[in-house]
Structure 1
Amino acid sequence: MHAQDARVELGRIRFRRALALMVMTLVLPGSAQLVAGRKEVGRIAMRIWFGLILTGVCLLLLAVISKSFVFWFASNPFWLGLVRFGLMALAVGWAFLLVDAWRIGEPLALRQRQRLAMVGINGVLCFSVAGSLLFASHVVSVQKDFLAAMFSSGPASGSHDGRYNILLLGGDSGADRWGLRPDSITVASIDEQTGKTVLFGLPRNMLNFPFAKGSIMAEQFPRGYNCGTTCELNSLATWAADHKALFTGVQNPGVEATTEAVEGITGLKINYYAMVNLKGFQKMVDAVGGVTLNVRDRIPIGGVGGPVTGYIKPGKRKLNGFQTLWFARSRESADDYSRMARQKCVMNAMLQQLSPQKVVLKFEKIAKASEDLISTDVPLSEVDHFIDLALKARSQPVRTVSFVPPLVNTSHPDIAQIQEIVQTALKAKNATRAVSAGKAAKGTQSTGSTPPSGAPKQPASQGTTGGAIGSMHAGYAANQADDLGSAC
């Protein structure tokens, strides 16, 4: 009887020892081998482990001291590749140590139930540890491939008067349609230090405007783009595609022509462009789980050449990708100007609601959607800087100026006035009423409720737009840059 009790107690001791070896390997890889006699393997494993801990602590300290280091590290293909293979090697090595700890625990000396328990525990630990590391390696690989596919290897462009000016274009996708006649044209002017952003919206139907001096398009149209009612701002992409021979060495003639026009109109020097595929945008919204928007009026889904199939009802609503796309694009019972305002509201909502935590948790979906969403010439070397600016911009109100009636006569725009408004908006301290330059522009505008001569009348509905700038249809409050959040 005493012998049987001794065997039972010995079995319990062996089981506890085998279990302890597994836990030791999980907490401190290599420690099980050290205490069990495989000292050389244990020393190598623990040196690697402590080396990784020391490296991690150093990286963490650098991250605390400098956020820019984190962004640089996370956008550097070489280091991402090194981290990826390091995670894969760590997964294999840790799984090997767990299996070796199981072997050292002498499973054949255990009772059947104990053996089965140890096999189960070892399997769970191997799959959990190695699986987590391999998944992390996969995420790093996705990040590396995303950066390679998304960003260019071209030269970086320095700031202009302390600001980066990014041309944002939105249009439909398609094998033969990328960049043709963009639906939306916006310049995001970003302070290089603070990230404060002003959005300048240009109507796609603007006529009779100049091009940047010395540009390709200025040589073709020295008196401006004044070739009739078909020569609208968004037609430049089509024109350039029909005259590719003029754009020698230019990768995207349509974007180049549009950029030269925007520079001529606003007086701003454009650093980079980002072309947004509006159908790919639907995938992005779905990837982040939807976006919450303040819908001020009933927005039709469909229409303009097709039937209206439904409506987005007023109120604060979380919209999926399909609904958000129609919120931004719907033209039924509305005009281009109200749609411009809604599109900027979507931009603002995405900026404020796309948190770093959400990006991490849904990174693979976001990266995949982004490849279908954006085409840009931002160089890879500048990605870390713009990530830093984007995070700074999230904590500040985004201001917006839209060059639409009554502020601007889109058929015969006063370019000097537009450029004066741009400069006033950029220099303004007050985020909610930044521009007050209307009276200075040849007296063509009014701060009252009567639109200027020649300006098209605007509908009284579609309150999603706000006024003349930021809230465009609630009277003709000309020449002020509004806090975009208050308009949306």
Structure 2
Amino acid sequence: MARHAQSKQVRVHQSRALRRALGLTLLSTIVPGAGLLWTRLRAFGIVLVATCLGLLGYLGMRVYRHGLVGSALSLGLSTQALRIVLVAVIAGAAVWILAILLTAISARPRPASRDDRLATTLMAIICSLAVAAPSAWGARTVALQRDVVTTIFGHDAPGSSGTGAVPQVGEDDPWVNIRRVNVLLVGSDAGTDRVGVRPDSMMVASINTRTGDTVLIGVPRNLENAPIPATNPLHTVFPDGYNCGDQCLINGVWTLAHDRPDLFPGDPNPGLTTTRDVVGAVVGLPINHTVVIDLSGFSALVNAMGGVTINVKERVCIGCKALSDGTIVGTTGYIEPGVQHLDGYHALWYARSRAESDDFSRMRRQRCVVGALLDQVSPATMLRRYPALAEVLKDHVAIDISQQQLPAWVPLIERVQQDGTLRSLPLTNKVIDVIDPDYDKIRALVANAISDNPTPVSTSSSTPSTPSDSGSTSPGSSSSSTSNDELTTLAAAC
């Protein structure tokens, strides 16, 4: 009887010791090394816990000083910081897993039965996998982000210097001496089925660096007589502007410059350079930077972001094309009016379709799509879908901001998202004449739009005109009834 009681007491003790070992192993999984504080490796556990608490304190201080978004941007746009984080993630995961294994071994019951060894070993393996899996994902994401920054933002990117908007990196406010920065957004129709590049859409985002207020200026792709500034080599060929009728539209200057590399020695992308210079001359603003995305990339970008919600204000045909006699062919469906959540394919058609409307209706829709993407992007969505998003950015987006300038853009992006307003200036046929443009008037409209107290745009004095390139408007098209061609917030326009 006494022997039986003693045996039972031993089993109870062994069971408690096993539960203690499993609990300490789990504790080291939750807090690196915490389980070691109750083992003979207590000193090692103290070092790990102190290191972990110190790191959390440092991160907390950075988030407190710079905010969560600012801290994430500062980290994500620095290749040096990303390299350090990558090494830290890999090394930290290895030490963490080592702490789990040491906890399981040192906390194991003494003496340990075969079942005890099996239980603690399985627990250590499961806990190690729980650390290894997210650590591997984190390391892959950090490496991918570093690859994205290196690929998209070159060290000496063309167009990133000499434009009068070089921020003072490292200062409390890098933009203190720069009142405004202007970024040209180009939607390129480059593709395997196309020869050369003809920008499908052109917008200038003019950002007030003090307030974050931003004006999106839509430039019609069918503007004629586009001025070519004297500083651009193509000016020697077209000193009076690109003025050969409706065959010489502003979206053709890219190919025009690309076909004359002899005029642009040492310039790797004369088409983009000339498009930037010409658009700057049209709107009367220096274009400081450019962002180019091809059309297939736009569709993939929207898909990678999980789609985009649009308040569709007019029926838009899908797959459609207008023939020279006005006949509409190829229609495979429609995007109906109302609030719609569009995938990449449908968002692209919503932004590009013009067979049953016109270029100006399409310009309005493009600004609304850009505004919706900016408004709906969230850190949680970006993180969850980042691998797919990163591949799209690497393959389809080109930005001429150098890596050295990226830290200066962190506070400006925050200012735009948190404090600024987003306004839209539509240079449509309700406002200007695209066949015989009054460029002084266009520049005056832009100057008014970016001023601190802009006045409403008048649309009554303009004569609408549309060259043959701009597409047809079918009877019953709702583009005119749904247009908003006044300077207004993007939310009100869309």
Which TM-score band (shorter chain)?
Answer: 0.7 to 0.9
Over 3 Å counting, the alpha-carbon distance change for 1:455 and 1:179 in structure 2 is closer
The answer to whether residue 388 in structure 2 is matched with residue 365 in structure 1 is yes
Contact conserved, 1:295 with 1:464, CA < 8 A, in 2? Answer: no
Q: Which of 422, 442, 450 is the aligned partner of 2:446?
A: 422
Question: TM-score, length-normalised on structure 2?
Answer: 0.86
- Please name the residue that 1:165 is paired with: 182
Task: Give the root-mean-square deviation of aligned CA atoms.
Answer: 2.7
Contact conserved, 2:34 with 2:49, CA < 8 A, in 1? Answer: no
One-letter code of the match for 1:367?
A
Contact conserved, 2:36 with 2:103, CA < 8 A, in 1? Answer: yes
Query: More displaced, 380-389 or 14-23?
Result: 380-389
Over 3 Å counting, the alpha-carbon distance change for 1:225 and 1:161 in structure 2 is farther
Q: Which of 9, 12, 15 is the aligned partner of 1:9?
A: 12
- Please name the residue that 1:122 is paired with: 124
The answer to whether residue 316 in structure 2 is matched with residue 299 in structure 1 is yes
The answer to whether residue 193 in structure 2 is matched with residue 191 in structure 1 is no
Question: For 2:232 and 2:480, how far apart are their aligned partners in 1?
Answer: 34
Contact conserved, 1:428 with 1:435, CA < 8 A, in 2? Answer: no
CA deviation vs aligned residue, 1:417-450 (integer Å, no higher than 9, x gap): 11111101110436xxx444x5xxxxxx735xxx
TM-superposed CA distance for 1:179, in Å, is 6.6
TM-superposed CA distance for 1:383, in Å, is 3.0
Contact conserved, 1:167 with 1:272, CA < 8 A, in 2? Answer: yes
The residue correspondences of 1:95-134 to structure 2 (distance < 5 A) are: 95-106=97-108, 109-110=111-112, 114-134=116-136
Contact conserved, 1:194 with 1:389, CA < 8 A, in 2? Answer: no
Contact conserved, 2:18 with 2:108, CA < 8 A, in 1? Answer: no
Over 3 Å counting, the alpha-carbon distance change for 1:392 and 1:342 in structure 2 is same
Query: More displaced, 123-132 or 67-76?
Result: 67-76
Question: For 1:71 and 1:241, how far apart are their aligned partners in 2?
Answer: 35
The answer to whether residue 309 in structure 2 is matched with residue 285 in structure 1 is no
What SS does structure 2 have at the residue aligned with 1:225?
coil
Question: For 1:173 and 1:213, how far apart are their aligned partners in 2?
Answer: 28
Question: For 1:313 and 1:454, how far apart are their aligned partners in 2?
Answer: 27
CA deviation vs aligned residue, 1:129-164 (integer Å, no higher than 9, x gap): 122222212111111111111112125554396111
The answer to whether residue 258 in structure 2 is matched with residue 241 in structure 1 is yes
Gaps of 5+ in 1: 439-444, 473-479
Contact conserved, 2:430 with 2:464, CA < 8 A, in 1? Answer: no
Q: Which of 226, 229, 234 is the aligned partner of 1:209?
A: 226
Q: Which of 479, 485, 493 is the aligned partner of 1:487?
A: 493
Contact conserved, 2:216 with 2:425, CA < 8 A, in 1? Answer: yes
The answer to whether residue 446 in structure 2 is matched with residue 405 in structure 1 is no
Question: For 1:74 and 1:194, how far apart are their aligned partners in 2?
Answer: 24
TM-superposed CA distance for 1:176, in Å, is 8.3
Contact conserved, 2:355 with 2:473, CA < 8 A, in 1? Answer: no
- Please name the residue that 1:61 is paired with: 61
Query: More displaced, 195-204 or 214-223?
Result: 214-223
CA deviation vs aligned residue, 1:11-36 (integer Å, no higher than 9, x gap): 11321231243134234434544543
What SS does structure 2 have at the residue aligned with 1:308?
coil
TM-superposed CA distance for 1:215, in Å, is 2.3
Question: For 1:23 and 1:455, how far apart are their aligned partners in 2?
Answer: 71
CA deviation vs aligned residue, 1:233-263 (integer Å, no higher than 9, x gap): 0111111111011111212111111111112
One-letter code of the match for 1:125?
C
Question: For 1:241 and 1:459, how far apart are their aligned partners in 2?
Answer: 35
One-letter code of the match for 1:47?
V
TM-superposed CA distance for 1:219, in Å, is 2.9
The answer to whether residue 136 in structure 2 is matched with residue 141 in structure 1 is no
Query: More displaced, 372-381 or 25-34?
Result: 25-34
The answer to whether residue 92 in structure 2 is matched with residue 90 in structure 1 is yes
Over 3 Å counting, the alpha-carbon distance change for 1:453 and 1:367 in structure 2 is closer
CA deviation vs aligned residue, 1:61-116 (integer Å, no higher than 9, x gap): 13322245553232110111111111101111111121122222336845555544
- Please name the residue that 1:442 is paired with: none
Contact conserved, 1:273 with 1:376, CA < 8 A, in 2? Answer: yes
- Please name the residue that 1:257 is paired with: 274
Question: TM-score, length-normalised on structure 1?
Answer: 0.87
Over 3 Å counting, the alpha-carbon distance change for 1:348 and 1:372 in structure 2 is same
Query: More displaced, 374-383 or 253-262?
Result: 374-383
Query: More displaced, 224-233 or 407-416?
Result: 224-233
One-letter code of the match for 1:61?
M
TM-superposed CA distance for 1:55, in Å, is 3.4
Contact conserved, 1:108 with 1:115, CA < 8 A, in 2? Answer: no
Percent identity of paired positions between Structure 1 and Structure 2: 29
CA deviation vs aligned residue, 1:397-417 (integer Å, no higher than 9, x gap): 421112221311111100111
Contact conserved, 1:163 with 1:192, CA < 8 A, in 2? Answer: yes
TM-superposed CA distance for 1:193, in Å, is 2.1
Over 3 Å counting, the alpha-carbon distance change for 1:108 and 1:36 in structure 2 is closer
Over 3 Å counting, the alpha-carbon distance change for 1:464 and 1:357 in structure 2 is farther
Q: Which of 400, 403, 412 is the aligned partner of 1:389?
A: 412
Question: For 1:462 and 1:446, how far apart are their aligned partners in 2?
Answer: 21
Over 3 Å counting, the alpha-carbon distance change for 1:106 and 1:57 in structure 2 is closer
Over 3 Å counting, the alpha-carbon distance change for 1:426 and 1:459 in structure 2 is farther
Q: Which of 445, 460, 466 is the aligned partner of 1:446?
A: 460
- Please name the residue that 1:81 is paired with: 83
What SS does structure 1 have at the residue aligned with 2:228?
coil
Contact conserved, 1:236 with 1:254, CA < 8 A, in 2? Answer: yes
Question: For 2:11 and 2:184, how far apart are their aligned partners in 1?
Answer: 77
Contact conserved, 2:218 with 2:427, CA < 8 A, in 1? Answer: yes
Question: For 1:229 and 1:172, how far apart are their aligned partners in 2?
Answer: 20
CA deviation vs aligned residue, 1:199-240 (integer Å, no higher than 9, x gap): 111111111121224222323322111123211101111111
CA deviation vs aligned residue, 1:163-196 (integer Å, no higher than 9, x gap): 1111111122425859711111111101112221
Question: For 1:23 and 1:13, how far apart are their aligned partners in 2?
Answer: 15
What SS does structure 1 have at the residue aligned with 2:450?
helix
